[in-house]
Chain A
Amino acid sequence: MSTATTPMRFTRELREMCGADYVIEDPARLQPAQILGVTPAVAVEPASAEEIAAVLRFANERDLTVVPAGGFTQQQAGNTPAPIDVLLYTTRLTEVEHYDPGDLTIGIGAGCRVAELSAKVAADGLLFAGDAPLPERATIGGLLATGITGPLRHGYGGLRDYCIGVRFVTGDGRKGKGGGRVVKNVAGFDLMKLLIGSQGRLAIITGASFKLFPAPRQTSTFIAEFATAAEAIQYRNTVLRSPLSPICLELVSPQAEALLPGAERSGKGWSLYLRATGSDAVLARYRSELGAAISREVDGQNEAELWRALQNFSSTLPERSAGSVLISLSLPLADVLPVLNELESVAASDHLAYAVAGAVGVGRLLVGLWPAGQQANLSDAVSAFRERLPRDASAKILHCPQELRRQVAAWAKTPTDFESMKAVKPALDGKDILNRGRFLF
């Protein structure tokens, strides 16, 4: 195994593959690209899938570890990596592979920033539903590899629902693809599903195709505030049983609301933020259907800012409180309240504060925990909380203070299909060069 102290022995070849301008050896430029304290020996910026394949084949020959990177918005998640020989940016792969607004699909290079893609299709009255945090930095490849979603998850589904094709290079340096560029396609294995959320462990995504949606022409956000989480969840159930179909349905805890911009807020209650789209008549129906529970309605610029803040919640919280642990949860709907109750009890007994936000109508929660006093015990609390998660829950740590890393494993419960997952890895990355040590096993 190589170490970060001897980079020179392979940079010459990397320069030949990617061009000298696209091999970064300057420590001053590498330092900011460290991952949980591990600084890569060298970084490369290949221009194409072919160049990526060449780098990965070379890495296999030399047994070099490779970490794929996009906008560096989610790199601090997961376990501490093994020494990183090559950090591989996909940010030069920004080509539009296919786009005809009439098709409601687009194919794009993995390095394209999420905000650029969204802006491009918005100009044609379309919506790209992948509202990742920090969209100006986050790339399409990173979005897919981490499987991260935002508030639009409620109304438009997850990446697995609207990613219709993927191009990639496997860890062993083979160029491959799954799906295509049409909205319905069952030819071959669904490799989109396999790679979404695979955390760059199996392959480096080089491009993808997506279903797009007609952009909402008018929206409004209705906010209901409750004294307790239980009442908020009860209201969620009322909304889910109603004929309404909002595009977002976000739960916001008192401490989370304090992190959001906007006018008058009590900051005392649990809120549900419901974003609806439709004509005046449709929005009027929402108003009457939602009734007295609604305390505020926001639209226009304030509404846009509010949702941008909720979209960025997972990055805002660690910025405000570096000592916090941030956990992303996916739960069956009925497990949300019991999990919130556990959180409350764990926080109380270990002297912690917490904030919660998430697309609660589809069982997604972001939970931030941080010390609220001298006797606080964050690592015990996190361990206890995760041990008590129900059977079908899954959890991962998105952010964790460096000093807690040793005590807190990045992945909560072992998935039931852990052995199968383990078996898949060698089929695409036999030498375990991609993101070694960082995710799951």
Chain B
Amino acid sequence: MNLPAVVDDLRRIVGRDAVLDRPEDMMLYEYDAGVRRSTPGAVVFPQTAEQVSEIMRTASAAHIPVVARGAGTGLSSGAISHAGGIVVAFARMNRILEVDVENLRAVVQPGVVNQQLSEYVSHLGLYYAPDPSSQKACTIGGNVAENSGGPHTLLHGVTVNHVTGVEVVLPNGEIVHFGGKAAESYGYDLTGFFVGSEGTIAIATAITVKLLRKPEAVATLLAIFESVDDAARTVAEITAEGITPAALEMLDGWTLRQVEAYCHAGYPLDAGAVLLIELEGLREAVDEQAVAVRGVCLLQKARDVHRAKNEEERALLWKGRKTAFAAVGRVSPSYYTQDGVVPRSKIPAVLQHIGEVSKKYDLIIGNVFHAGDGNLHPLILFDNRDAAQFERVMAASSDILQYCIDVGGTITGEHGVGLEKRDAMPLLFTEEDLAIMTDLRNVFNGHEVLNPGKMLPTPRMCREIAGRSRNAVLAQEGL
């Protein structure tokens, strides 16, 4: 590999101003929203699929690893470069190419910011449904790579349910199209297979997404509980009523107090937990469901159920939820976020377990999560100057993940595997399962030019990790 020569080639492809390789510039690209760092050799900003294709051809020929990057908001270190590798950053491919109202589709470049798409089509009464909490910054390309979720996925599904077609560049530079504007295309669903592949099989250069019509009515309820346990039981009771809310979020007492101090969303400071419940649809249906949900909450010992009176109140309640991570960031030097999922009926039990883990490892753990989906986000607080404490954080985190798996759940609901949970994959999948996935990756990315070392553990690694620290293995791999 000869990076300087490749950088010259990259400049020829995209222009001099669209390639960075000075060390001080690289520092900005050595991390995402996860906890790991690795310094790339160059960052390149393409503007067309053809340029991405040439970049891939060049990198493949020189055997230099490539990772695609949107806004770097990912939480699983998926956008971290291989040391000395090339980051393909999509900041300049941020155009909405087409809004097709008749077909309820939009075609966007990968660098389009999630929320901007909804804002762009808002005057047509339309929106793009997947809404990760980072939607003000995160890009649709990144969402596609990670198959991102968000609070409203309870009713509407995650990113893959909203992508019907992609234009991608394969590691060999070929530009191919999977799917299109139809809801389904016959043959293998490579669109669906590509979404959530974490940048390990191809790079998207255009994405066809569904646009939904905005609901006629929305009701946002804040249910206030004395205990986490009461709130947790309410989650299952609401669905037992035959109601599927658009969103059903929980914040525990500790977390809501941090949120309240940060942005005054109107959460009661003395509550044990709150549920943020959103219903949407036909006015008549929403009003009936709001009454029913209120009844369920009160039956489960809710102290009060408050319905947002207007859009302003609604926005404030959601601001509290969506800025919860930031609020926690204010009171702790660092925190580690988990993304495990449990079957809905296991929510009370898993929250109890997290409480015990908190005591056992002497750590503060806040809970703010997508309760309706059973998708947990325990925030484990720590001070990154305290190495011993960090070890406890990792142990507590493994303990929680193992519990999720034991009750039939999974290790990640929406943040992706990346580097963070790669070594936990064998807890879920057999060696044969992983070999099948590796074979499928190799169909497209056999030389591992794209995002090497992410998501799928190598058999060698599985064995070595047993004997050595994970960081040592990662360091040896250049990650």
Contacts and interface: CB of A to CB of B under 8 A. Distances in A.
Nearest to B202: A420
Given A102-B236, A181-B343, A330-B185, A187 B103 contact: no
B85 interface: no
With a 10 A CB-CB cut-off, give which of A279, A364, A420 has the most chain B CB atoms. A420
B408 interface: yes
B467 interface: no
B268 interface: no
A385 B325 CA distance: 55
Interface stretch (A111-119, A366-374, A386-394): A386-394
B160 A190 contact: yes
Contacts of A328: 186
A183 B373 contact: yes
Contacts of A240: 104, 213
Contacts of A321: none
Interface string B283-312: 111001000000000000000000000000
Interface in A140-195: 147, 157-158, 160-161, 170, 174-178, 180-194
B1 interface: no
A126 to B, nearest CB: 9
A125 to B, nearest CB: 7
Interface residues of A, number: 82
A282 B285 contact: yes
Contacts of A411: 186-187
B376 to A, nearest CB: 10
B84 interface: no
A394 B177 CA distance: 14
Interface string B192-220: 11011100000000000000010111000
A364 B180 CA distance: 14
B243 A214 contact: yes
B9 to A, nearest CB: 26
A287 to B, nearest CB: 12
B203 to A, nearest CB: 14
A416 B176 CA distance: 7
B186 A427 contact: no
A333 B102 contact: yes
Interface string B235-248: 01001111110000
Contacts of B437: 188-189, 191
Given A185-B412, A213-B244, A427-B439, A392 B433 contact: no
Contacts of A396: 186
A245 to B, nearest CB: 6
B344 interface: yes
B239 A184 contact: no
Contact of B432 (A101, A174, A183, A394): A174
A415 B185 contact: yes
Among A184, A202, A284, chain B packs the most CB atoms within 10 A around the CB of A184
A182 B410 contact: yes
B328 interface: no
B78 to A, nearest CB: 11
Contacts of B409: 180, 182
Interface stretch (B256-264, B357-365, B440-448): B440-448
Contacts of B215: 243
B182 A147 contact: no
Contacts of B281: 243, 245
Interface in A418-437: 418-421, 423-424, 427-428
Contacts of B176: 416-417, 419-420
A186 B439 contact: no
A395 interface: yes
A214 B180 contact: no
Given A364-B183, A392-B180, A392-B182, A197 B189 contact: yes
B269 interface: no
A282 B186 contact: no
Given A181-B408, A417-B177, A186 B186 contact: no
Interface stretch (B10-18, B32-40, B388-396, B421-429): B421-429
Contact of B440 (A331, A395, A427): A427
Contacts of A419: 176
Given A187-B417, A421-B187, A427 B443 contact: yes
B225 to A, nearest CB: 19
Contact of A188 (B149, B186, B429, B432): B429
Interface in B84-123: 100, 102-105
Interface in B163-177: 165, 170, 176-177
A334 B101 CA distance: 9
A186 B196 contact: yes
A404 B216 CA distance: 50
Given A102-B239, A416-B176, A332 B182 contact: yes
14 contacts: A102-B239, A157-B157, A160-B192, A170-B436, A174-B436, A182-B342, A184-B410, A190-B147, A278-B285, A330-B186, A333-B103, A424-B443, A427-B443, A428-B436
Give the 10 A-B residue pairs with the shortest CB-CB distance, closest first.
A193-B192, A243-B216, A392-B180, A214-B242, A102-B345, A184-B413, A332-B181, A334-B102, A103-B343, A394-B186
Interface of A: 98, 100-105, 125, 147, 157-158, 160-161, 170, 174-178, 180-194, 196-198, 202, 213-215, 217, 240-241, 243-245, 278-279, 281-282, 284-285, 328, 330-335, 362-364, 391-396, 411, 415-421, 423-424, 427-428, 440
Given A188-B428, A392-B165, 14 more contacts: A182-B408, A184-B374, A184-B414, A188-B417, A188-B434, A188-B437, A193-B160, A193-B193, A194-B190, A214-B244, A279-B288, A282-B285, A421-B190, A424-B188
